[in-house]
Amino acid sequence: MKVSGYVVELAKELVSIPTVTGEESRVAGLIETELKEAGMEVRRQEVEGAGFNILASRGRGGLLFLTHLDVFPPYDHPEPFEPKVEGEEIIGRGAADAKGQIAALISALKESEGPAEVALVVDEERLGRGSEALEIPKE
């Protein structure tokens, strides 16, 4: 992922929090705080046997942005949760899939005021239970 300012710092912070499938709740507080600072209304959607999805909305209508909170296990990655900036890239477990996306999304939301919806699901890397359980409220 290319790097700059706030997005870099948030992505590094997200990568530093281990969220292997089943451990996604570790990052929830940080993400919920950042989304609220972007003017989003945030709620949790329980997912049976897998924790909870994070749903956020601002205004009526707008695009739905959906990605996931979990990452693959470290496997042979030497320092998976110690993000490093090398040139114009952040190296660490989840930097490109999908914590970099989440950081960029939150940054864009903070720079805009239009309507938007966000769904951050759990268990994407294993069984997809967060996506299966996802219900976006209709108004």
Using alpha carbons, list the distances in angstroms from residue 80 to 14, 125, 126.
12, 16, 18
Question: Which residue among the candidates 24, 34, 70, 117 is catalytic per the annotation?
Answer: 70
Rounded Cα distance between 121 and 128, Å, is: 8
Rounded Cα distance between 139 and 137, Å, is: 7
Among left, alpha and beta (phi > 0; psi -120 to 50; other), residue 47 is: beta
Question: Which residue among the candidates 24, 34, 123, 124 is catalytic per the annotation?
Answer: 124
Known active-site residue 124:
yes
Catalytic positions, written as ranges = 70, 124
